[in-house]
């Protein structure tokens, strides 16, 4: 069977990407789109038999035992019912994940799904001891599987600061996160992974099922690995997908919002970068890049324009407290020829390229998120138009989410720095694959990072 893979523009997939949702449902016969979580089933069940709890106490060991101890040995996988205790629906969801572990680049046999099925069958026929064996076996396999799924590979992501790269978690830490909310829903939606990872995984499944060619599968696997570096929706964070020119933000397991953005052009690409936003700068200056000073500003001055007419000023140096220099003392032809390098900044105001606010996170690439007065760029289909920074469709909405009541200032004074109440991680990624109603779609590889015609990357 063959499949025609679409080459899609962001306009084709934006309605899909913009839809606020939990992690996309996996391809299971029983799952329906946007189905309500199965938490009510667990709430209606009766408490687990104390004998089962006691058996779990005897069966668990190591860090897993520490986790169970913190919850008085209440089970994760066992549910109580009028007919007695039994292994609940989460186990079947998990077993399907293990059967499909090749989609994650993992070997299903490593987690012994057949052995788990046999343990569950014994639990169905047996009593508390057999239930405890199945419970703990499922938990061990689950922590092992989650640990390997969260292990990232080098796909070009630059991490600026600690705690941004997924770290190896102890078994009890994995389980504490899993048990924070409804465990059945957590397993069903792969809540330990980014929704973008689940989306890439499902795109890969669809492509394999349709018989896609090797190159397409390699691109999908590469995108899967890029998405593996992103946190789960349980982590409060921002994702900027430079391929689709779109931003998402997450909190408490949910996608809170999304918006269009303008990202770097092919010549001035937005890097794959993870950092932490700490500051909002209101009424910002725009420090003009050297090449724009040479190719744009100097050319205009030589043709008769003044810096004042362009709401710009030239500074004496790159220190924290520079003096404003007299433009008439500058050899503008030397600047135009690249022989003299100047520091020029655009003053705050309605036309300032930074808009009313920019959000800073430390990085050597000079990348940040900022407002923009150029609203016409945001309605374009191809929004790869910036010098590398991210221009926001709705900077106030993102600012209010990050800062709450502290967002905004009354003064018009330039460069007013306001610290965020809590730092917010931001991940700049590049996901060129998705699914549409017509099947798997590949966006234009604007930055040439997929290497679609060169050597293949196999994971």
Contacts of 459 (CB under 8 A, 6+ apart): 105, 153, 221, 222, 224, 225
Strand partners, 274: 159, 427
Catalytic entry in 196, 237, 384, 389? 389
3-state secondary structure of 434: strand
Closest CA to 440 of 188, 224, 263, 187: 224
C-alpha distance from residue 172 to each of 78, 83, 111 (Å): 18, 31, 18
Chain mean position to CA 290: 32
Residue of 196, 237, 370, 384 marked active site: 370
Gyration radius of the chain's alpha carbons: 26
- In the three-class reduction of DSSP (H, G, I as helix; E, B as strand; rest coil), residue 446 is classed as coil
Task: Establish whether 196 is a catalytic residue.
Answer: no
Which of 376, 25, 443 minimizes the C-alpha distance to 241?
Answer: 443
Question: How far is residue 430's CA from residue 157's CA, in Å, rounded to a whole number?
Answer: 10
Say how far apart CA 106 and CA 123 lie, in whole Å.
27
Could you tell me the two tokens for 247?
Answer: 């931003």
Buried b / exposed e along 97-128 (16+ C-beta atoms within 10 A): bbebbebbbbebeebbbeebeebbeebeeeeb
Catalytic site includes residue 384: no
- Give the separation between CA 345 and CA 352, rounded to whole angstroms: 10
Residues labelled as active-site residues: 370, 389
């Amino acid at each position: 069977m063959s499949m025609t893979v679409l080459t899609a523009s962001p306009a084709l997939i934006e309605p899909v990407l913009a839809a606020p949702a939990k992690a996309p449902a996996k391809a299971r016969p029983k799952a329906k789109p946007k189905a309500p979580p199965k938490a009510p089933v667990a709430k209606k069940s009766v408490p687990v038999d104390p004998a089962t709890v006691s058996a779990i106490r005897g069966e668990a060991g190591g860090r897993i035992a520490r986790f169970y101890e913190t919850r008085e040995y209440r089970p994760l996988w066992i549910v109580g019912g009028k007919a007695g205790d039994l292994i609940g629906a989460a186990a079947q969801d998990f077993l399907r994940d293990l059967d499909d572990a090749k989609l994650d680049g993992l070997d299903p046999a490593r987690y012994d799904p057949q052995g788990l099925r046999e343990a569950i069958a014994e639990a169905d026929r047996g009593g508390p001891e057999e239930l405890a064996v199945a419970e703990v076996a499922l938990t061990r396999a689950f922590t092992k599987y989650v640990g390997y799924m969260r292990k990232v590979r080098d796909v070009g992501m630059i991490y600026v600061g600690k705690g941004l790269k997924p770290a190896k978690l102890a078994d009890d830490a994995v389980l504490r996160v899993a048990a924070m909310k409804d465990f059945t829903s957590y397993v069903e939606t792969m809540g330990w992974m980014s929704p973008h990872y689940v989306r890439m995984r499902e795109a890969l499944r669809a492509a394999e099922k349709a018989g896609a060619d090797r190159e397409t599968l390699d691109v999908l696997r590469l995108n899967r690995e890029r998405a593996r570096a992103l946190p789960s929706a349980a982590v409060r964070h921002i994702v900027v997908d430079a391929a689709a020119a779109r931003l998402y933000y997450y909190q408490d397991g949910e996608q809170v919002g999304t918006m269009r953005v303008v990202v770097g052009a092919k010549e001035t690409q937005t890097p794959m970068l993870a950092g932490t936003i700490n500051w909002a700068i209101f009424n910002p200056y725009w420090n003009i890049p050297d090449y724009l000073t040479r190719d744009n500003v100097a050319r205009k001055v030589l043709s008769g324009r003044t810096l004042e007419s362009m709401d710009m000023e030239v500074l004496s140096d790159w220190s924290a407290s520079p003096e404003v220099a007299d433009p008439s003392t500058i050899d503008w032809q030397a600047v135009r020829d690249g022989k003299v390098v100047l520091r020029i900044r655009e003053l705050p105001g309605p036309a300032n390229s930074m808009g009313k606010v920019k959000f800073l996170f430390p990085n050597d690439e000079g990348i940040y998120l900022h407002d923009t007065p150029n609203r016409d760029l945001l309605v374009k289909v191809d929004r790869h138009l910036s010098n590398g920074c991210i221009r926001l469709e709705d900077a106030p909405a993102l600012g209010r989410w990050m800062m709450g009541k502290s967002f905004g200032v009354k003064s018009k004074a330039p460069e007013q720095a306001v610290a965020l109440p809590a730092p917010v991680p931001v991940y700049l990624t590049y996901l060129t694959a998705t699914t549409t109603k017509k099947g798997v779609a590949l966006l234009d590889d604007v930055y040439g990072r997929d290497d679609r015609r060169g050597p293949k990357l196999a994971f």
